[in-house]
Chains A and B, each alone.
Chain A
Amino acid sequence: MSTEAHAAEGATGYIIHHLTPLSAGHGFWALHLDTIFFSVFLGGVFLWFFKSAAEKATTGVPGLAQNFAEMLVEFVDTQVKDSFHGKSAVIAPLALSIFCWVFLWNFMDLFPVDIFPMIGSLMGLEYLRVVPSTDLNATFGMSLSVFFLIIFYSIKIKGVGGFAKELLLQPFGPWFMPFNLLLKLVEEIAKPISLGLRLFGNLYAGELIFILIALLPWFIQPVLSFPWAVFHILIITLQAFIFMVLTIVYLSMAHEHH
């Protein structure tokens, strides 16, 4: 389903319309308003739920919300304790935020592709892309933050000298210094890029397939979109989980001396 203005452009127009973000401004300073709105909104949902659960937290018999929140907290805590052996007040909450936020981003993918653009067009918005994780800015925003944390902790734990030594002297010793540096830089830079691109790629492709299914005749759509949606329940959770676990692993690597 698309607005009449785009119907004329056919299938390609429909797809492009669905993948175009609502933006304001030009060039680098353009802002994807839909991405920012939905990610902030979903972040608010996450914080609201967990804050209310945390406020009512008792050590006795937990309520439903507390139970759910505790389940996630314990799950994340187990993951952190499995891979990270130091002591850090940041990593576990960070992992929880990442998991929940990414999951909620991805969850937007399960809404029928036309609902939000339609509501948007009724409100006078020409474009509306509701899944923040199909925006590279969102996924890279998060993965670059993680990257900066990796650098920060590497320097904090090992010191500038220790970190530089690690960059220059490993894995092949002092005689291969430039080569080591090159390898290490690639290794480090690959972390945020792979993190961001993996999430983006999975969700972008998933969204694209939903859009393609939506182009088919109405009686075929449920046959295809239902299994794809069911499969996507796995994908969105898995991608959130992967992002979280890799963040934990990278940060624990940053904490370790080699």
Chain B
Amino acid sequence: MSINATLIGQMITFALLVWFTMKYVWPPLINSLEERKKKISEGLAAAEKGQEEILLAEQKAKSILKDAKDQSSEIVNMAQKRATEIVEESKEAAKKEGERQIVAAQAQIEQEIQHAKESLRKEVADLAFNMAEQILQAEVDQNKHQDIVQKVSNQLG
């Protein structure tokens, strides 16, 4: 239990141990600890930033969506307006066309009536002439009574 040279040996050993620890052990370990701390705090900061960005993006998306909605409703309104316009226009056109057709049809009808009258008159004249011929038989000479026939025929027209 006596104090002896072992003491000196131990002190030298201790000095070497401390020197080695100072030089080769402590710095890399404490550095890696610090670096990791930094990394983690950076990561946390980045995560926070990311969340903020998400919020911003959400707001942006909302405003874009709102714009799109407004635009689409505007377009729909315009389209509706245009559609009523088109309907109005076509109504107008149809009306005009109808009137035109009516006028043409009336003209044709008039013409037809005129025509029918003409042919009817001719037929009636022929018929009357035939009938009179049958009734009078030989008593009436075509040439003799030419003026009478003409008179009747004119009356029929």
Binding site for B on A (CB under 8 A): 19, 23, 25, 27-32, 35-36, 39-40, 43, 46-47, 50-51, 53-55, 57-60, 62, 66, 69-70, 73-74, 77, 89-90, 92-94, 96-97, 101, 132, 135-138, 140-142, 144-145
Contacts and interface: CB of A to CB of B under 8 A. Distances in A.
B13 A57 contact: no
Given A73-B33, A138-B6, A39 B21 contact: no
B1 interface: yes
B9 A50 contact: no
A77 B33 CA distance: 11
Contact of B11 (A19, A28, A144): A144
A149 to B, nearest CB: 9
A36 B33 contact: no
B5 to A, nearest CB: 5
Interface in B24-65: 24-33, 35-36, 39
A36 B9 contact: yes
A50 B32 contact: no
A145 B15 CA distance: 8
Interface residues of B, number: 33
Given A39-B10, A70-B33, A28 B5 contact: yes
B28 A97 contact: no
Contacts of B7: 137, 140-141, 144
Contacts of B28: 54-55, 57
A101 B17 contact: yes
B5 A93 contact: no
Given A36-B13, A101-B17, A31 B5 contact: yes
Given A32-B6, A137-B4, A54 B24 contact: yes
Contacts of B21: 47, 50, 93-94, 96-97
B13 to A, nearest CB: 6
Nearest to B28: A54
Which applies to chain A's interface (DSSP): helix, strand, loop or mixed? helix
B19 to A, nearest CB: 9
Nearest to A132: B10
A92 B13 CA distance: 18
A30 B4 contact: yes
Given A29-B4, A59-B36, A54 B25 contact: yes
Given A51-B24, A57-B32, A138-B6, 12 more contacts: A25-B5, A30-B4, A35-B6, A47-B17, A50-B29, A53-B29, A58-B32, A59-B35, A69-B29, A73-B33, A97-B17, A145-B18
| Shortest Cβ-Cβ A-B pairs, 3 listed | A141-B10, A137-B6, A93-B26
Contact of A97 (B2, B18, B30): B18
B14 A141 contact: yes
Nearest to A50: B25
B11 A57 contact: no
Interface centre among B2, B6, B11, B20 (most CB of A within 10 A): B6
B22 interface: yes
